[in-house]
Amino acid sequence: DRGSLVITKSDNRSNQDFHNDLVSIANAHERELFAATSSFGDLNTDFGSPDIKMVNKQRIAMLRGDGVSSLSYGALWHFFEQQLNYPVTSMDTSYFDPSMLSEFDVLILPSGWYSKLMNEDKSTELKDWIRAGGKVIALGNAVSSFAGKDGFGLKRNQQQDSNTEDGEDEVSAADNLIPYDQREKNNVKNLITGSIYKTTLDPSHPMAFGYDDTYFSLKLGSSSYAFLENGYNVGYIKGDAESVAGFSGADAKAKLKNSLSFGEVRLGSGSVIYLVDDVLFRSFWENGKMLLVNSIFFVNNNKFTL
């Protein structure tokens, strides 16, 4: 199956208890093991095929500080430290510069507001790093920083006002004539305070390895982005949005029609990955965690490093 891991005994000669360790790990994560007596496949792909790619050790940087959601950063930090036990280097937005990324493979942008990072000079430097093989993963509202920017392949949906940074509708003069005692009721129609939506996934894309073609995604707002014209629409809502749980205002729900949830845009040898919906949310949204891990280790994994 796509996304299956090939673990060879010959690459683990230093582990004298390799077999028992492997079985313990598989049992702990409720995964089935299949033994192969040869690297040649009668019915499946040979292990030496270009379709079998090395999973490289990724050097990960992640932003924190001014403009970064502390909830999003905290959930990511906890996930790496407590669940993956994988190193990540945090960089503060007060001193961050794309020139610092030469020793890293992946840059994670937690949900937040990155207008300073996406100024013309830094945006150009960031694109140069991506073209050289870097990977940017933007989560939640961080995605909005790339919308409409040259070279990043992301656009807001047409029904959404592109003049507002967070994608929410501006209050018009007519709206301001609504009586005081009706304002709250009127505003509710533009809110999504936490709702689960049925989305379509492309399980042939490495980001969605291990998933079926349907994913139930947690939305915390009505930000809506158009399908990627030059990229991979990995997760999306096609047609009218279908909420299966939670609250969604009528106007907010309508904005999600034909919208992107997860996507990848190639830029030179690198990628920009857009995770519009929160795939961790306070580290309890279990079904989304593999999307993040796949994005780090599987997506655009074409280079080999020792």
Q: What percent of the chain has pLDDT over 90?
A: 51
Same domain, 108 and 48: no
Say how many domains are in the chain. 2
- Quick check: is 211 in a domain? yes
- Quick check: is 107 in a domain? yes
Q: Which amino acid is at 192?
A: I
pLDDT over threshold 90, residue 11: no
Closest CA to 237 of 259, 205, 210: 259
CA distances from 190 to 41, 118, 158, 186, 242 (A): 55, 28, 16, 8, 16
- Quick check: is 158 in a domain? yes
Q: How confident is the model at residue 164 (pLDDT cuts 50, 70, 90)?
A: very low
Closest CA to 144 of 118, 105, 120: 118
Tell me the three state secondary structure of residue 200.
strand
- Quick check: is 304 in a domain? no
Same domain, 32 and 74: no
pLDDT over threshold 50, residue 92: yes
Give CA–CA dist 291/275, Å, rounded: 9
CA dihedral 72, 101, 226, 206 (to 10 degrees): -90
Closest CA to 46 of 56, 31, 55, 36: 36
Q: Which amino acid is at 141?
A: N
- Quick check: is 302 in a domain? no
- Quick check: is 280 in a domain? yes
- Quick check: is 305 in a domain? no
Which pLDDT score is estimated for 249? 81
Same domain, 163 and 191: yes
Same domain, 28 and 103: no
pLDDT over threshold 60, residue 306: no
Compute the C-alpha angle 45/208/114, nearest 5°: 135
pLDDT tens digits for 124-153? Answer: 999 999 999 999 999 999 999 999 988 899
Same domain, 126 and 64: yes
By the 8 A CB rule, do 270 and 209 touch?
no
Q: Domain span at residue 162?
A: 60-297
Is 297 buried (19+), middle (13-18) or exposed (0-12) by CB count in 10 A? middle
Same domain, 36 and 113: no
DSSP codes joined into one string, 240-252: S--EEEEEE-HHH
pLDDT tens digits for 229-271? Answer: 999 999 999 998 888 888 888 888 888 899 999 999 999 999 9
* Domain boundary, last residue among 34, 52, 70: 52
Backbone angles phi, psi at 43, to 5 degrees: -115, -20
pLDDT over threshold 50, residue 162: no
Same domain, 220 and 166: yes
- CATH (domain of 171): 3.40.50.880
By the 8 A CB rule, do 200 and 236 touch?
yes
Tokens read off for 11: 């690459």
Same domain, 117 and 266: yes
By the 8 A CB rule, do 278 and 288 touch?
yes
pLDDT over threshold 70, residue 171: no
Q: Please list the alpha-helical segments (H only) found in the chain.
A: 18-28, 70-78, 120-131, 180-188, 250-255, 289-297
Indicate the average pLDDT of the chain. 86
Same domain, 177 and 66: yes
- Quick check: is 303 in a domain? no
Q: How many residues does the chain have?
A: 306
Which pLDDT score is estimated for 36? 80
Same domain, 38 and 94: no
Same domain, 43 and 80: no
Which pLDDT score is estimated for 211? 93
Same domain, 158 and 43: no
Give CA–CA dist 143/137, Å, rounded: 9
Closest CA to 216 of 199, 238, 233: 199
* Domain boundary, last residue among 52, 77, 93: 52
Which has more pLDDT, 160 or 112? 112
* Domain boundary, last residue among 32, 52, 72: 52
Report pTM: 0.86
By the 8 A CB rule, do 208 and 291 touch?
yes
Give CA–CA dist 192/249, Å, rounded: 6
